[in-house]
């Protein structure tokens, strides 16, 4: 039986062998200790490494928020744009140089709130870009206000009586917007993120990754590590991601399954 | 040779073929060797919904402005045309349909309203077209025939343009339309043989360069194409939409893309994204859309991203007067947005400059890594001028990207502070030069840094860089007397043509006046402007805005001798208005 | 009740005088004047002087456009009445616009009359009625040295004088059609011919038979008694009332509009004056026409006075003498009408 120390040592070794740190920049992430974004960072980096992409061929575009700082921590090209506008910029980058691998990253406030108007159009336009939504259901950088995906009843300084609005379901939105690749993931499952990212980056079209994550500093009520860890589970074995209608039906009643919900099958050669 | 100065107006209801007739008139007159400046206008009042008016000024010399009075009106719909009567010259000629399908009540015909000193020429436009082509649809062409006969215009030029225009609708339609034109021609020659007013036709100088009939918007599109535009992003907005439509028909064939996106924010965002990879991109908008772009424009200033933005101004504020002209976005273009955000703002004054300044905006944006705002206005975008086909050398639009030295791989600093303020820029895809660009204040590496010294240093760098761009911007041009001036007129944008026209008239009257054209609005050539103002006893700044925005920008150079002429009417500032002001100023001075 | 609406058709001497009078007697009325001529009202009497170059165009003008503004009248120039609907009380204009009226004065004047036998030559003859005619005379006289006059009404004599002043060679077919519509006594006729000859006019005897344009552009003219030629033939057979458009209106028309001695045309508020009117003479119980500028003005004034509520009679005793350097003709009333 392996001791915890032994397991840790093995893990460290495998991480080192993956060269995942090569894609990190010299900047230390500014996220709080225990933040779910570390897991996402790890998952993304792993996917880029495993795909063997040259770092200089990758552009990461971000908006504003804790997730907005993401490009500073990667040794790729990065475009830190303004609040909510990562998707327009990312599409411009892809049109400017189609050889680049383009990722847009951002939080739920950035992507569902201020930038929510761009999401459907990026999805229906179906450029080959990859959009990773870090959904911790809170405005963290401004110290804890409710976001568009915050569950009802969340008490903050800005919502002392608890929130009353219906939260947005980003996976459902992406499916209904016509995104051709939709996955729901969890920051506590970096391996799952890596697997889905690799499939999504290979997918020729708009790929959407809805990543559940936790704000350890400002959310002690809903999306805590414990709550999320206890809730999530993989999609059932044999789930067929080729059927958008089935995917939508499932997402309407299932908030907890993780995996690739929908991937448009490759079209026959023209 | 007589000097011709003829403003022709066609007015009708949508469906009358007003705009088509105006276009054909401009084309035929251009072909006949006249210089033309045309501007279609859309009256503001709701009652006038559906009313179309085309106005064209023709002459032998290059036309630089429209005047406020029309010499000849073709009425395709009398009820609509009644509104134009106040704009007709006292001795105007009015062509109208004198045989409406059934007799109209008193006052419904323009004949009952035309002043006696005007010359009425009735012709049965509908009947002539119907007899000639089987359909009254060609009444606009019959009207053109009447005009051509009355003025003895070169009819073959009309026939050729009509044939060409309707070729796509089939030989039968084209031939029928030419017959409608001929019917109008014959009618007027037969009916008014003793009232014809033959117009001298310019002799075509040998070896004359090819002339094109372009709107400002077409020239902007052509300028962008000449500069090798790769991607255009836009959102529909009057009066900039035709730029998108023009490019949509042409850019894909050149391997580029035109994308109509979900809003103006997306459009400017995509422009920044495309330019970030080195692919030239542009968007065009008007005031409300420009306001939406403001945040990303300031981000581009901070992140030092190239961008080309056309702001085709219209009446403001807010939604304002979408179909009217105004020069009221100047300060928004120069200063709009949070923080100190120096950027380049240039403003063409005519169609030819629309082409050149748009083309030049791309290398400027690249070299100075900054948004370049090309400031036009409705009157400039939608006017049509026949001009020698402009061209620009490959050098003038060559890639102006300053790349880092290869040996900087691994130690590259995107925002390296240099004496010029320009830092070498590496494009994504270049190995070893990975970096981040950001709208957060940043150090030379591009890493956020809010320290006092750094913010000062970076603010200095950005300002120095933009001021340095003056070397690549067209200096102001002086017109008129070289010596001391009683009135020196300083103008920009579409108002400049009117100002120059007024100054030329004033000089013909023996007045000591001059005019200064400013196309570089930011940064601006302070020394040159100062020198012109210093030799002007009074400085007149005519602008189509209420607050005198150019005066706000450069007025401090006038040492208290500036007089503003501002008009918030939504219609162009006409030369006669400016000339009147010059007279007033000189009169005051003399008394 | 709103102010009555009056229309005057015609802006010649009769129409203009009617307008002046109406503004004086019915200042509140809304007044529209319709003029076929596309220019200001002018003095037709002066056209020969204009042709002779003795006065310039501006001197011809009777009233500037601004005068109509001053009296608050709407002047429609270059517009022609093409139908009168007395039931609807509307005038239809040639451009299909209907004008309603409460009162109407017809002062449309006449058109140069070409006697029937000569219709086939009408394109080869130049009359003088309008400003446009005068301009054509001026234009044609630039290239022509000899002019033949046929007919010979009052205007014709004035034109002869103008041509002589221009040092043109003038020939005159001085036959029985001269001095129309008067029937001069042989004495007057002989006197007039003598006068012409003394002035240097070559009197061609006989009656016009034929005009032929030669290949060189000159006109070969044959009369019953002689053959001659001219660069230009002027036709002066008087005026025929220009009332064809009234044919279906219900008004009584003979050659002109038949009106009573008050110039009343038989329909409420409708009057006629000037060359277009045929006026009843209660003493001889027949209709008369007048010619001449002064007569037209007098009739215009009477029509307006009566439209404004008066009951004036045409003064049949009034006498006006046309005196063209010794050729004296009484122009006030002419018994005979037509040829």
CATH number assigned to the domain comprising residue A106:
3.40.50.970
Chains A and C touch (3+ CB pairs under 8 A): no
Does residue C100 share a domain with residue C246?
yes
Per-residue confidence (pLDDT) for residue B46, from 0 to 100? 40
Fill in the DSSP letter of residue B194: T
Which residues have C-beta within 8 Å of that of residue A223, sequence separation ≥ 6? Answer: A136, A137, A138, A151, A212, A213, A214, A215
Same domain? C270 vs C246:
yes
Average pLDDT over residues B381-389: 95
In this prediction, residue C325 has a pLDDT band, given cuts at 50, 70 and 90, of low
State mean pLDDT over B117-125: 94
Cα dist from C215 to A201, B201, C218, C219, C220, whole Å? 94, 33, 7, 9, 10
Average pLDDT over residues B373-385: 97
Residues on chain B touching A91 (C-beta within 8 angstroms): 259, 266, 269-270, 273
- Residue whose pair of structure tokens reads 């500069």 in the numeric block: B227
Give the number of B-C residue pairs with CB atoms closer than 8 Å: 55
Q: Is residue A7 part of a domain?
A: no
For the segment C288-304, the average pLDDT, to the nearest whole number, is 85
Task: Give how far A235 is from chain B: nearest CA, Å.
Answer: 34
The stretches of B339-488 forming alpha helices (DSSP H) are 351-368, 378-381, 452-468
- Chain C residue with Cα closest to B114: C76
Instruction: Write C119-126 long-range contacts (CB < 8 A, 24+).
Output: C121/C208, C121/C210, C121/C211, C121/C233, C122/C235, C124/C211, C124/C213, C124/C219, C124/C233, C125/C150, C125/C211, C125/C233, C125/C234, C125/C235, C126/C232, C126/C233, C126/C234, C126/C235
Interchain CB distance below 8 Å, A88 and B273: yes
User: Nearest CB to A54: which of B261, B281, B431?
Assistant: B431
Find the mean pLDDT for residues C125-150: 93
> Is C248:C163 a contact under the CB 8 Å cutoff?
no
Asked if the structure places residue C338 within a domain, the reply is no
- Under 8 Å between Cβ of B112 and C94: no
Contact B99 C96 (CB under 8 A): yes
Are residues C187 and C211 both part of a single domain?
yes
Task: Give how far the C-alpha of residue C334 lies from the chain's centroid of Cα atoms, to the nearest Å.
Answer: 15
The number of C-alpha atoms within 13 Å of A114 and in the hemisphere containing its C-beta is: 17
Q: Which residue from C40, C65, C97 is facing B111, i.e. has the nearest CB?
A: C97
- What fold characterizes domain B477-590? Rossmann fold (3.40.50)
pLDDT at B92: 96
Structure tokens, C16: 């203009």
User: Is C327 a residue whose pLDDT tops 70?
Assistant: no
The answer, for C98 touching chain B at a CB cutoff of 8 Å, is: yes
Confidence tier at B45 by pLDDT (50, 70, 90): very low
Share above pLDDT 70 across residues of chain B, in percent, rounded to a whole number: 96
Q: What is the mean pLDDT of residues B528-535?
A: 97
Confidence of residue C320 (pLDDT cuts 50, 70, 90): low
What's the start-to-end Cα distance of chain C, in Å? 48
Q: Is residue C339 part of a domain?
A: no
Instruction: Please give the share of chain B, as a percent, with pLDDT higher than 90.
Output: 91
> Quick one: how far is CA B589 from the chain centroid?
35
C102: contact with B, CB 8 A cutoff: no
Q: Do C162 and C51 touch, CB atoms closer than 8 A?
A: yes
Contact (CB<8Å) B273/A61: yes
Q: How far is CA B100 from CA A163, B137, B373, in A?
A: 68, 14, 50
- Asked if B200 is an interface residue toward chain C (Cβ–Cβ < 8 A), one would say no
Q: Do B117 and C135 touch (CB under 8 A)?
A: no
Residue B422: what are its φ and ψ, rounded to 5°?
-90, 125
CATH number of B5-191, picked from 3.40.920.10, 1.10.3720.10, 3.40.630.40, 3.40.50.1820: 3.40.920.10
* Residues spanned by the domain of C287: 5-111+242-330
Contact B133, C124 (CB under 8 A): no
* Touch of A by B (3+ CB pairs closer than 8 Å): yes
Q: Which two tokens stand for residue C316?
A: 């049949």
Burial state string for C255-283 with b = 16 or more CB within 10 A and e = fewer than 16? bbbbbbbbbbbebebbbbbbbbbbbbeee
Q: For B74-107, write each residue's pLDDT tens digit.
A: 999 999 999 999 999 999 999 999 999 999 999 9
C306 close to C264: Cβ distance less than 8 angstroms: yes
Cβ–Cβ under 8 Å, residues B299 and B276? no
* Cβ-nearest to A89 among B269, B432, B440: B269
Residue B547 sits at the vertex; the CA angle it makes with B544 and B548, to the nearest 5 degrees, is 60
Per CB-CB distance under 8 Å, the chain A contacts of B296 are: 81-82, 85
Contact status, residue C53 vs residue C59, Cβ threshold 8 Å: no
Host domain of residue A51: 31-263
d(CA B126, CA B17): 12
Q: Which of these three, C213, C237, C261, is where a domain ends?
A: C237
Residue C336 lies in a domain: no
The DSSP line for C199-213 is HT-EEEPS-EEEEEE
Query: How does C9-45 read in b/e, with b if 16+ C-beta sit within 10 Å?
Result: bbbbbbbbbbbbbbbebbeebbbbbbbbbbbbbbbbb
Write down the CATH number for the domain with range B213-396: 3.40.50.970
Location of each CATH 3.40.50.970 domain in chain B = 213-396
Strand C97-100 and strand C90-93: the pairing is antiparallel
Label the pairing between strands A101-107 and A130-135: parallel
Nearest by CB to A100, from B266, B281, B428: name it: B428
- Residue A128: inside a domain: yes
Question: How far away is chain B from the Cα of A140, in angstroms, using its nearest Cα?
Answer: 18
As a whole number, mean pLDDT of residues B400-422 equals 96
Choose the final residue of a domain: C214, C237, C260. C237
Are C94 and C127 found together in one domain? no
B353: helix, strand or coil: helix
Pair (C179, C106) in one structural domain: no
Q: Which among B109, B112, B117 has the least Cβ separation from residue C65? A: B117
Confidence of residue C196 (pLDDT cuts 50, 70, 90): confident
| Per-residue tokens: B253 | 């064939």
Contact at 8 Å (CB) between A122 and A193? no
B-chain residue closest to A120, CA distance: B262
Instruction: List the CATH number of the domain containing C66.
Output: 3.50.50.60
Confidence of residue C50 (pLDDT cuts 50, 70, 90): very high
Query: What confidence tens digit (pLDDT) does each residue in B226-258 have?
Result: 999 999 999 999 999 999 999 999 999 999 999
| pLDDT at residue number B422 | 98
Mutation for testing the A interface, residue in B229, B428, B431, B441 having most A CBs under 10 Å: B428
Question: Chain B window 89-108: which residues touch C at a Cβ cutoff of 8 Å?
Answer: 96, 98-100, 102-106, 108
Domain membership of residue A6 (yes or no) is: no
- Structure-token pair, residue B394: 């490959």
CATH 3.40.920.10: which residues of chain B?
5-191
| Gap from A196 CA to chain B (nearest CA, Å) | 24
How far is the C-alpha of C7 from the C-alpha of C222, rounded, in Å? 46
Does A47 reside within a domain? yes
Q: What is the ipTM of this complex?
A: 0.95
Structural domains counted in chain A: 1
Distances, alpha carbon C46 to alpha carbons C57, C297, C326, in Å: 10, 15, 19
Average pLDDT on B526-541 reads 97
Q: How far apart are alpha carbons B139 and B112 in whole angstroms? A: 21
B193 touches chain C (CB under 8 A): no
B94: nearest CA partner in chain C: C78
Contact C76 B112 (CB under 8 A): yes
Q: Say yes or no to pLDDT of C74 above 90.
A: yes
> Which of B231, B255, B269 would you mutate first to test chain A, the one with the most A CBs within 10 A?
B269
Whether B1 shows a pLDDT value over 50: the answer reads no
How many angstroms separate the Cα of B413 from the Cα of each of A23, B263, B354?
18, 34, 36
Q: pLDDT digits over B160-211, tens only?
A: 999 999 999 999 999 999 999 999 999 999 999 988 999 987 776 555 667 8
- Which token pair is B393? 């050398």
Band the pLDDT of B377: cuts 50, 70, 90.
very high
Q: Which residues of B touch A92 (CB under 8 A)?
A: 231, 233, 269-276, 281
Q: What is the pTM of this model?
A: 0.88
Residue C205 in this model has a pLDDT that exceeds 80: yes
**Of B221 and B194, more confident:** B221
Q: DSSP assignment of chain A, as one string?
A: ---HHHHHHHHHHHHHHHTGGGGB-SSPP-SPTT-THHHHHHHHHHHHHHTT--GGGEEEEE-SSTGGGGGGGBSSEEEE-STT-HHHHHHHHHHH-TTSEEEEEEEHIIIIIITTTTHHHHHHHT-S-EEEEEE-SEETTTT-EE-TTPPTT--BTTBTT---SPPP-HHHHHHHHT-SEEEEEETT-HHHHHHHHHHHHHSSS-EEEEEE---TTT-SSSS-HHHHHHH-EEPPTT--TT-HHHHHHHHHH-SSEEEEEEEPPPPPP-
Confidence of residue C337 (pLDDT cuts 50, 70, 90): very low
Beta carbons of C277 and C220 less than 8 angstroms apart: no
- Average pLDDT, whole number, for chain B? 94
Query: Which positions of chain A have pLDDT values less than 70?
Result: 1, 268-270
* Interface contacts (A, B; CB < 8 Å): 137
Mark which of C187, C212, C237 sits at the end of a domain: C237
Choice among B7-16, B24-33, B45-54, B473-482 with the minimum mean pLDDT: B45-54
List all residues 6 or more positions away from B3 whose beta carbon is below 8 Å from its beta carbon.
B59, B60, B61
* Residue B166, pLDDT score: 94
Helices (H) and strands (E) in chain B, counts: 18, 22
Predicted confidence (pLDDT) at residue B564 exceeds the cutoff of 70: yes
Contact A100 B429 (CB under 8 A): yes
Nearest to B546 by CA among B372, B282, B330, B278: B330
| Cα–Cα distances in angstroms (integers) from residue B66 to residues B385, B496, B534, B583, C159, in the given order | 11, 12, 30, 20, 48
Contact B428 A81 (CB under 8 A): no
C100: nearest CB among B96, B106, B119: B106
Question: Where is mean pLDDT largest: A4-8, A93-97, C164-168, C227-231?
Answer: A93-97
Residue span(s) of chain B under CATH 3.40.50.920 come to 477-590
Nearest C-alpha of chain A: how many angstroms from B309?
Answer: 15
| Contacts of C among chains (3+ CB pairs under 8 A) | B
- The HSE-up count of residue A15 (CA atoms within 13 Å, CB side) is 15
């Amino acid at each position: 039986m392996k001791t915890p120390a032994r397991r840790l040592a093995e893990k460290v070794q495998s991480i080192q062998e993956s060269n995942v740190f090569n894609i990190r920049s010299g900047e230390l992430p500014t996220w709080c200790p225990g933040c779910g974004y570390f897991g996402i960072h790890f998952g993304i980096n792993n996917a880029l490494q495993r795909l063997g992409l040259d770092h200089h061929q990758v552009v990461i575009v971000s908006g504003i928020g804790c997730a907005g700082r993401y490009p500073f921590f990667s040794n790729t090209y990065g475009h830190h744009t303004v609040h909510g506008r990562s998707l327009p910029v990312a599409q411009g980058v892809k049109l400017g140089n189609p050889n680049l691998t383009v990722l847009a990253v951002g939080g739920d406030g950035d992507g569902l709130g201020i930038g929510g108007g761009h999401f459907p159009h990026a999805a229906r336009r179906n450029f080959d870009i990859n959009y990773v939504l870090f959904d911790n259901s809170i405005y963290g950088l401004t110290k804890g206000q409710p976001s568009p995906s915050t569950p009802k009843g969340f008490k903050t300084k800005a919502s002392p009586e608890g929130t009353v609005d219906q939260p947005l379901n980003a996976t459902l939105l992406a499916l209904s917007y016509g995104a051709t690749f939709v996955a729901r993931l969890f920051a506590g499952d970096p391996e799952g993120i890596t697997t889905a990212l690799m499939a999504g980056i290979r997918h020729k079209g708009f790929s959407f990754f809805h990543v559940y994550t936790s704000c350890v500093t400002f959310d002690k009520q809903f999306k805590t590590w414990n709550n999320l860890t206890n809730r999530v589970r993989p999609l059932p074995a044999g789930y067929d991601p080729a059927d958008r209608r089935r995917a939508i039906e499932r997402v309407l009643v299932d908030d907890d399954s993780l995996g690739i919900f929908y991937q448009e099958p490759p079209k026959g050669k023209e | 040779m007589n000097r011709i100065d003829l403003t022709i107006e066609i007015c009708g209801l949508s469906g009358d073929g007003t705009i088509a007739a105006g276009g054909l008139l401009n084309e035929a007159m251009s072909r006949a060797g006249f210089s033309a400046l045309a501007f279609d206008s859309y009256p503001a009042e709701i009652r006038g919904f559906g009313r179309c008016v085309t106005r064209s000024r023709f002459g032998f010399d290059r036309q630089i402005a429209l005047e406020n009075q029309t010499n000849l009106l073709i009425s395709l719909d009398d009820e609509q045309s009644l509104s134009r009567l106040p704009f007709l010259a006292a001795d105007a000629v009015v062509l109208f349909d004198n045989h409406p399908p059934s007799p109209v009540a008193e006052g419904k015909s323009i004949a009952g309203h035309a002043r006696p000193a005007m010359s009425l020429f009735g012709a049965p436009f509908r009947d002539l077209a119907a007899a000639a082509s089987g359909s009254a649809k060609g009444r606009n062409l019959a009207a053109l025939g009447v005009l051509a006969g009355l003025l003895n215009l070169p009819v073959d030029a009309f026939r050729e343009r009509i044939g060409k225009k309707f070729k796509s609708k089939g030989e039968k339609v084209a031939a029928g339309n030419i017959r409608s034109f001929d019917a109008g021609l014959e009618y007027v020659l037969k009916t008014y043989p003793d009232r014809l007013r033959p117009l001298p036709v310019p002799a075509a100088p040998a070896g004359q360069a090819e002339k094109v009939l372009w709107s400002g918007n077409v020239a902007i599109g052509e300028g962008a194409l000449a500069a090798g535009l790769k991607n255009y992003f836009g959102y529909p907005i009057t009066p900039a939409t035709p730029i998108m439509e023009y490019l949509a028909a042409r850019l894909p064939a050149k391997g580029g893309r035109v994308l109509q996106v979900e809003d103006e924010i997306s459009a400017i965002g995509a422009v920044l994204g495309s330019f970030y990879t080195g692919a030239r991109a542009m968007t065009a908008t008007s005031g409300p859309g420009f306001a939406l772009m403001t945040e990303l424009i300031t981000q581009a200033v901070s992140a030092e991203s190239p961008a080309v933005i056309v702001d085709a101004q219209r009446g403001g504020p807010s939604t304002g007067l979408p179909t009217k002209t105004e020069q009221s976005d100047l300060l928004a273009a120069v200063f709009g947005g949070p923080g100190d955000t120096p950027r380049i703002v240039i403003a063409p004054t005519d169609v030819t400059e629309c082409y050149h300044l748009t083309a030049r905006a791309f290398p400027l944006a690249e070299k100075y890594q900054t948004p370049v705002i090309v400031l036009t206005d409705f009157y400039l975008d939608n006017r049509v001028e026949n001009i020698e086909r402009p061209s620009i050398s490959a050098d003038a639009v060559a890639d102006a990207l300053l790349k880092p030295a290869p040996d900087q791989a691994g130690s590259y600093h995107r925002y390296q502070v240099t004496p010029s303020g320009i830092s070498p820029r590496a494009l994504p895809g270049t190995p070893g030069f990975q970096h981040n660009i950001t709208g957060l204040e940043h150090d030379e590496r591009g890493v956020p840094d809010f320290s006092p010294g750094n913010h000062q240093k970076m603010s200095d760098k950005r300002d120095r860089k933009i001021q340095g761009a003056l070397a690549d911007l067209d200096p102001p041009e002086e017109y008129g007397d070289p010596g001391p001036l009683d009135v020196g007129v300083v103008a920009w944008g579409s108002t400049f043509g009117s100002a120059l026209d007024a100054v030329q008239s004033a000089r013909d009257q023996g007045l000591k006046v001059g005019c200064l054209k400013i196309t570089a609005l930011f940064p601006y050539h302070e020394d040159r402007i100062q020198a012109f103002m210093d030799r002007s006893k009074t400085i007149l700044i005519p602008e189509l805005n209420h607050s005198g925005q150019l005066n706000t920008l450069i007025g401090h150079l006038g040492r208290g001798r500036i007089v503003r002429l501002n008009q918030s009417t939504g219609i162009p500032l006409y030369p006669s208005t400016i000339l009147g002001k010059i007279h007033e100023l000189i009169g005051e001075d003399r008394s | 009740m709103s102010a009555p609406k009056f229309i005057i058709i015609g802006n010649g001497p009769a129409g203009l005088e009617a307008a002046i009078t109406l503004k004086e007697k019915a200042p509140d009325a809304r007044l529209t004047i319709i003029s076929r001529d596309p220019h200001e009202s002018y003095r037709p009497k002066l056209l020969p002087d204009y042709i002779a170059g003795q006065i310039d165009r501006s001197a011809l003008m009777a009233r500037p456009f601004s005068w109509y503004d001053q009296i608050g009248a709407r002047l429609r120039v270059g517009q022609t009445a093409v139908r009168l609907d007395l039931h609807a009380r509307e005038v239809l204009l040639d451009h299909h616009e209907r004008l309603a009226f409460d009162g109407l004065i017809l002062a449309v004047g006449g058109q140069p009359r070409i006697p029937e036998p000569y219709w086939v030559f009408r394109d080869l003859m130049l009359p003088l009625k309008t400003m446009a005619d005068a301009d054509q005379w001026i234009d044609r006289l630039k290239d022509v040295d000899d002019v033949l006059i046929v007919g010979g009404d009052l205007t014709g004599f004035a034109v002869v004088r103008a041509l002589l002043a221009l040092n043109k060679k003038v020939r005159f077919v001085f036959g029985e059609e001269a001095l129309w519509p008067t029937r001069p006594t042989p004495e007057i006729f002989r006197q007039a011919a003598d006068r012409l000859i003394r002035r240097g006019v070559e009197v061609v005897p006989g009656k016009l038979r034929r005009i032929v344009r030669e290949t060189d552009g000159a006109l070969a003219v044959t009369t019953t008694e002689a053959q001659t030629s001219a660069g230009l033939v002027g036709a002066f057979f008087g005026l025929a009332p220009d009332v064809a458009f009234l044919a279906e209106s219900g008004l009584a028309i003979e050659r002109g509009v038949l009106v009573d001695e008050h110039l009343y045309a038989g329909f409420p508020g409708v009057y006629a004056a000037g060359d277009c009117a045929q006026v009843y003479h209660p003493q001889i119980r027949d209709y008369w026409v007048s010619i001449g500028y002064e007569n037209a003005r007098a009739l215009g004034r009477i029509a307006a006075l009566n439209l404004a509520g008066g009951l004036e009679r045409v003064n049949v005793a009034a006498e006006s003498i046309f005196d063209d350097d010794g050729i004296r003709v009484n122009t006030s009333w002419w018994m005979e009408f037509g040829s």
